[in-house]
Amino acid sequence: MKSPFDKRSQGFNIIIVGCGKVGTTLVEKLRQANHDITIIDQDAEVVQKVTNMYDVMGITGNGSSYKVQLEAGIEKANIIIAVTESDELNLLCCTIAKKVSECVAVARVRNPDYSEELSYLRDQLGISLIINPELEIAQEMARLLRLPTALDINSFAKGHVELVKFRIPENSILHDRKIANINKDFKSDILICGVERGENLVIPDGNYMLAERDVVSFIATPKNTQMFFKQIGVETHQVRNCMIVGGGKTSYYLAKQLTEMNIDVKIIETNPKRCEELSVLLPKALVIYGDGGDEELLKEEGIMKSEAFVPLTGLDEENILLTLFAKRISNAKVITKINRTTFIDVIENLDMGSVIYPRYMTSENILRYVRAMKNSMGSSNIETLYNIFDNRAEALEFLVEDSSPVVGRQIMDLPLKEELLLACLSRNGKVIIPRGNDVIMGGDRVVIVTKHTGFYDIADILK
């Protein structure tokens, strides 16, 4: 059988099974990158809506059906991505596809029962990538509770570098300070990559003046992040306790990680059977049977003294209301999970602290994998990809090979595209905040921040 990866210059033939929130986001992003998409979903109305909106092929049917997969063109497909609501259906879709095609298979698997067996499933079923969104959401939340000042934290270079977002408080010493003076004034090794002021996003140069209430994103090592916050008078200690409303999969994963970090965890859940399950699964957490939407119960359980509060109900509206309530009566670090991505501007103006959109986190992981495949014959590979600044920019980490055109040249001599910042180099575990006379070498991990989309290779940063 002919390999489906012969022509790097062409887009892939991709089959997406399941057109929920994540599936639709993948269709949108992958179409923008000029891939040929065929969708499969059992809901005819959903198929019609998505095919009309994004100009893709669509088939109504069961994605695990051999006949349906043949109709979708599985024999010539490069990738199949199964993101239905059923873990078992996703695994079955991929298993059947691998029997008749050399395609790469990607599955979303969410059940905690499978979380300890993901490597086994990958090996035995031949699945290239298994995504567990609830686990990844919980990991993101745990990072934020380690550094509660941050609104968002993205990790690069195997955790040696972080992209940290925070809001400059009122009366801050950063107000009316030029970016070029920050490292000198505070003896800190950080690089500011983006500033959000109102609805405007700027990838700033050294002459940009910061102001209170700006939302600033900077890149640094975890140690330098702590030092910078300390020098500007911002508290950075890890939270000591956390209240979680809702006892679903994300709550379980989050509570498990927090208790391992020696953080006291209290979970409020309305289903008595689920309370019993969580009490067995999480012996170090306190599980309370009750309505987490009840103001009096929240007060009784100590919300006003909680250092962190995470509403994880199944309803966006309830999560938002609980967040606003917690912000009003406590000083807790609040993290809000929102499944829908409509009304983002309204949500951002509510100043709810850290907001996490699960559909973006799942799609980012899959998109990163697709781009890495696309670039497998190039001079660098995408190691990490994040959509940042409410999806208005990307942060990418490339592993650079010796043959790359950026190797051996001083950064000041590279003809970089506009609205792009070369933010960080990682070399043999050492992190370098780059200056103009630094040189990129083969084997470096290079982090860039850009408003451009669709980069596959480090060479794409050049004009």
Lowest mean pLDDT among 83-87, 142-146, 195-199, 362-366: 362-366
Class of domain 361-461: alpha beta
* Residues of the chain above pLDDT 90, percent: 60
Give CA–CA dist 308/326, Å, rounded: 9
Q: Report the length, in residues, of the chain.
A: 463
In sequence order, the β-bridge partners of residue 337 are 356
Reduce the secondary structure of 344-409 to three states and give it as a string.
HHHHHHCCCCEEECHHHHHHHHHHHHHHHHHCCCCCEEEEEEEEECCCCEEEEEEEECCCCCCCCC
Band of residue 18 on the pLDDT scale cut at 50, 70, 90: very high
- Can you give the pLDDT at residue 10? 65
Sort strands 430-432 and 79-82 into parallel, antiparallel or unpaired.
unpaired
**Whole-number average pLDDT of the chain:** 89
Identical fold for domains 13-131 and 241-356, yes or no, is yes
CB 425 within 8 A of CB 445: yes
- Can you give the pLDDT at residue 7? 40
Question: Phi/psi at 112 (nearest 5 deg)?
Answer: -60, -25
Domain formed by 241-356, architecture: 3-Layer(aba) Sandwich (3.40)
- Angle at the Cα of 116 (from 277 to 363), degrees rounded to 5? 100
Q: Is 238 exposed, middle or buried (0-12, 13-18, 19+ CB in 10 A)?
A: middle
Amino acid residing at 197? R
- Can you give the pLDDT at residue 1? 36
Q: Is 393 exposed, middle or buried (0-12, 13-18, 19+ CB in 10 A)?
A: buried
Lowest mean pLDDT among 62-71, 289-298, 371-380, 406-415: 371-380
pLDDT at 9 over 80: no
pLDDT at 4 over 50: no
pLDDT at 377 over 70: no
- Can you give the pLDDT at residue 38? 97
For residue 41 the two structure tokens come to 């979903």
In sequence order, the β-bridge partners of residue 217 are 165, 194
Q: Is 442 exposed, middle or buried (0-12, 13-18, 19+ CB in 10 A)?
A: middle
Q: Is 12 exposed, middle or buried (0-12, 13-18, 19+ CB in 10 A)?
A: buried
For residue 197 the two structure tokens come to 């002021």
DSSP structural state of residue 237: P
pLDDT at 210 over 50: yes
pLDDT at 34 over 70: yes
> In the block, which residue shows the tokens 């994605």?
63
Nearest to 100 by CA among 77, 71, 75, 68: 75
Q: Which residue has the higher pLDDT, 208 or 357?
A: 208
Nearest to 340 by CA among 318, 309, 366: 318
pLDDT at 3 over 60: no
Mean predicted confidence (pLDDT) in 141-155: 91
CA distances, 94 to each of 101, 306, 307, 359, 364 (Å): 10, 44, 43, 21, 20
Q: Which residues of 156-190 are buried (b: 16+ CB within 10 A; e: fewer)?
A: bbeebbbbbbbbbeeebebeebebeebeeebebeb
Domain ranges of the chain: 13-131, 241-356, 361-461
CA distances, 405 to each of 365, 409, 422, 458 (Å): 27, 9, 15, 9
Cβ neighbors of 300 (< 8 A, separation 6 or more) are: none
Cβ neighbors of 104 (< 8 A, separation 6 or more) are: 78, 79, 80, 128, 129, 373
Reported as a single tens digit per residue, the pLDDT across 178-192 is 999 998 898 888 999
CB 118 within 8 A of CB 110: no
Q: Which residue has the higher pLDDT, 411 or 385?
A: 411
Q: Which CATH code, of 3.40.50.720, 3.30.300.30, 3.40.50.150, 3.40.630.30, is assigned to 13-131?
A: 3.40.50.720
Give CA–CA dist 353/360, Å, rounded: 18
pLDDT at 256 over 80: yes
